[in-house]
Amino acid sequence: MKFFRWQGLIAFVIIVALILGLWFLFIDTAIKNTIETVGTKINGAMVNVGKADLTLSPLGLIVTKLEVTDRDEPMKNAIEVDRIAFLMDFGHLLHHKIIVDEMTVHRIKTGTPRKKSGEIKKRAIKEKTEGKVVSKSLTLPKIDIPDVKEILKSEELQTLMAVHAIKGNIQDGKEKWKEKEKQLPDSNKLEDYKKRVDNAKRALKGNIKDALKGAKEVKAIRKDLRNDLERIESVKKEIKEDFRTLQASIKEAETLPAEDLKRLKKKYSLSSEGLANFSQLLFGNKVSNWTKTSFAWYEKVNPYLEKLRDSKIKEEEKKPERGKGLNIAFKEFNPMPDLFVRTAALTLHIPAGEIKGEIRDITSDQHLTGKATTFGLKGEKLDGMRAVKLNGEINRVSELKEKDSINLKISGYDINSVALSDSPDFPVTLQKASADIYVNTVIKNERFNSDLKAEFKAVKLMSDIGKDSGDIKKALASTLSDVKSFNLRADLVGGKDDFQIKLSSDLDDILKKSVGNMVKRESARFEKELKLALSEKVKDPLKGLEADMEDFDKIEEKLNAYSDKLDAMMQEIKESEKKKLKLPFKKSLKSLIKR
């Protein structure tokens, strides 16, 4: 038997050639599909590639029309890139490593519309609303001081509320007294006592049998009197306690006008401190919105940055996928990252024009290259902007040095008709300005530390106030319209959910200098008028309380009169008992001695 089948060699060559041929035919589609599948998995929304073209000599890849869906708005692309082209190192590719010396990324656009939704699955609305910072928006306080009478008409005063409550308590106290009074001895009972005492006295004067009966009655009367006296004492004590409590409430109510005055002053008067905070009120919302936008972008980029860290997790620590197993990594003699792009040249298209720049040292394993990813972008003579410069670095070289920093410099940024305050009371619009803005941000452990400095020149501020506005409002509007330049500084510290912004501007000083004295004067006048009107309004109700309390004095007097009468009766019966009870026994003793 022949052992070899030589025609099999030809079949083998044909099969291998066929495999290679098919590979070459379908590799572009396979790469396209791989980018889309892996990209979609990472992005959480569709990633689409128009075309992927692998060239073998030189070994490179051209990806055209890459669209990355915005997860939060699936009908928009977060990023769209017209063309990405790069050459790869073949030797490293055999090691499953993509090492690129130079990459060109042409025409990056953001927020472009999509023809089809890029949503991969319906995400719960809850997820969208969760984690949203619910921040209180800043609004300008009322500039003009309203009429004092109007304020007191519309405001609920704490003093009057307290007076009303105390009045109710006094009424309750009186009701309680009426109930108790029913249980106390009335004039009939006193008359009854009197009769009983007289009868007892008479009985004591009689024979021994009557005297003994009288003594028994005296004992009963004393017991009844004691009980009634005790009841009266208890009621007196209760009434006194109620009286004390009501007195304390009245005393407290008397301090409330001062509290009301303080609260109303704070609410209605424009203090000079308020002016010192004017920039916060004007720019606070804008800066807060910019911050939220920055956080939203950081949220979009952060999962990819997190993956840089995750890639360090050893394969062995992962749970193997069924049918796929784990790829065990061994020590490399010349360790290289799985992905390393030395330089990526970018052209970014924003509505204002084109920005060019480069990103250096893009890698999934910075600890291997020892270099942080740096980026620098620059655009000049843009539409509505003289120049823009953005640079920074993403540092994941070591866990201790983990830090991201971004510096943005915008020169000659034209601002047109930006509403700074949409408060109907005092609307402010920045009609025109040219701004130089510098932002320096450092992000460490997802905590931001950002510093914004902005210089506004050729400023035209406008406040469209009504003709019947007050003096302060007019003065403020006039000062704002005279402002030709001002600066703004914002310091931001914190994370996505708990950031704090501190704003300052020389605009505050300008306003303070200009209308500060007027505000002080007007505020003093307002305070004086308010104090007077307030005390006038609460005077009578407070006096009424005192009058109501006089009834309690009458109750006490009545109780005292009761107890005095009962005491007198008790005294009377004690004395007659002493006198009359002793006599028959004295006589009997004397007669016994004589015998």
Partner 1 sequence: MLSIIAKLLRVLNSETNPAQISLAFCLAMLAGLTPFSSLHNLMPLFLVLILRVNLSSFLVGLAFFSGVAYLLDPVFHQIGLGVLKAEALQNLWTQCYNNPFIRLTRFNNTILMGSLVFSLLFFIPLFMATNLFIRKYRDHILGLVQKSRIMKALKASKFYSIYNRVDQIRGKG
Other CB atoms within 10 A of residue 553 CB: 10
Closest approach of partner 1 to the CB of residue 37, in Å: 17
Token couple for 531:
């104090």
Residue 58 or 325 having the CB closest to partner 1: 325
Residue 263 or 318 having the CB closest to partner 1: 318
Closest approach of partner 1 to the CB of residue 116, in Å: 32
Residue 10 or 124 having the CB closest to partner 1: 10
CB distance 429 to 462 below 8 Å: yes
Residue 296 or 326 having the CB closest to partner 1: 326
Residue 67 to residue 118: CA distance in whole angstroms: 9
Token couple for 93:
């590719």
Cis peptide before 146 (omega within 30 of 0): no
Contacts of 451 (CB under 8 A, 6+ apart): 439, 440, 441, 489, 490, 491, 492
Residues pairing with 380 in the sheet: 387
What is the DSSP code (8-state) at residue 321? B
Chain contacts with partner 1 (rule: CB under 8 A): 1-6, 8-9, 11-12, 15-16, 91, 94-96, 316, 320, 322-334
Closest approach of partner 1 to the CB of residue 330, in Å: 4
Residue 191 to residue 183: CA distance in whole angstroms: 16
Closest approach of partner 1 to the CB of residue 97, in Å: 10
Residue 239 to residue 241: CA distance in whole angstroms: 5
Residue 13 to residue 6: CA distance in whole angstroms: 12
Closest approach of partner 1 to the CB of residue 391, in Å: 37
Residue 12 or 297 having the CB closest to partner 1: 12
Residue 2 or 595 having the CB closest to partner 1: 2
CB distance 338 to 97 below 8 Å: yes
Contacts of 265 (CB under 8 A, 6+ apart): 523, 526, 527, 530
Closest approach of partner 1 to the CB of residue 30, in Å: 12
Which of these, 254, 233, 239, lies nearest to 551 by C-alpha position?
Answer: 239
Residue 32 or 97 having the CB closest to partner 1: 97
Closest approach of partner 1 to the CB of residue 371, in Å: 23
Closest approach of partner 1 to the CB of residue 36, in Å: 20
DSSP code per residue over 36-74: HHHHHHHHSS-EEEEEEEEEETTEEEEEEEEEEE-SS-T
Closest approach of partner 1 to the CB of residue 326, in Å: 5
What separation in angstroms does the CA of 498 have from each of 131, 132, 406? Answer: 11, 11, 20
Closest approach of partner 1 to the CB of residue 106, in Å: 32
Residue 16 or 38 having the CB closest to partner 1: 16
Closest approach of partner 1 to the CB of residue 138, in Å: 59
Residue 326 or 418 having the CB closest to partner 1: 326
CB distance 499 to 493 below 8 Å: yes
Element (H, E) at 163: helix 158-183
Kindly report the backbone phi and psi dihedral angles of residue 114, in degrees, each rounded to the nearest multiple of 5, phi listed first: -110, 150
Kindly report the backbone phi and psi dihedral angles of residue 469, in degrees, each rounded to the nearest multiple of 5, phi listed first: -70, 160
Residue 3 or 154 having the CB closest to partner 1: 3
Residue 121 or 322 having the CB closest to partner 1: 322
